Amino acid sequence: MVATTKYHSQGEIMKTVSIILKDSLIKACVCFTVMILIMNIIALHLATSAFSVRLGLNITGWLTTSLLFMFALASFLAGAAAQVHKITKIPAFSRHIIHFILNYGIFFIVIIPMSNHPINSGTTLFLSVVFIAIYLVIFGIYAGIKAIINRSRNKKLKYDAVYKDAK
């Protein structure tokens, strides 16, 4: 006998899981691409900066296979964390907080251990502040675009006043 839930058949559950997995992979690919572009821009800037020359930083060869694997893992987990936004039973603000907490956890579990620098409280605090700043910038851009879309969508709706003669 095939196990089914009260509301969904096994086929519907598998279809839902495949949709979630596909969405997670698409978001992971976008996230991975953006991460690699940002890291290449940072590496190019550091390679030509006076800061890099004085400290003798070696930027060449930093993009190893294990580092790319860690970026891919972080991207997939971030794509999966983005699925929180599809849970409509949770208020939007709570979904954003949950998304931030999940991504912050990914940051601590995957991104910070990739660093070549010794991990101490100062480094962790600095990286946390940078992560929060980047997250807030991206969230601000996202919220602004979402507000513009919602405003244009709401302008198209016809409004009928309930209290036409009330003053």
Residue 127's pLDDT is what? 81
**Mind listing the pLDDT tens digit for each residue in 62-100?**
556 677 787 788 888 888 888 888 888 889 888 889 999
Residues (pLDDT < 50) of the chain are: 1-4, 51-60
Per-domain boundaries in the chain: 10-116
Task: State which amino acid sits at residue 90.
Answer: I
**pLDDT the model gives residue 133:** 93
pLDDT at position 115: 64
Verdict on whether the full-model pTM lies above 0.85: no
Per the CB < 8 A criterion, the answer to whether 73 and 105 are in contact is no
Handedness of CA 64, 71, 25, 153 (dihedral sign): negative
Helix (H, G, I), strand (E, B) or coil at 160: coil
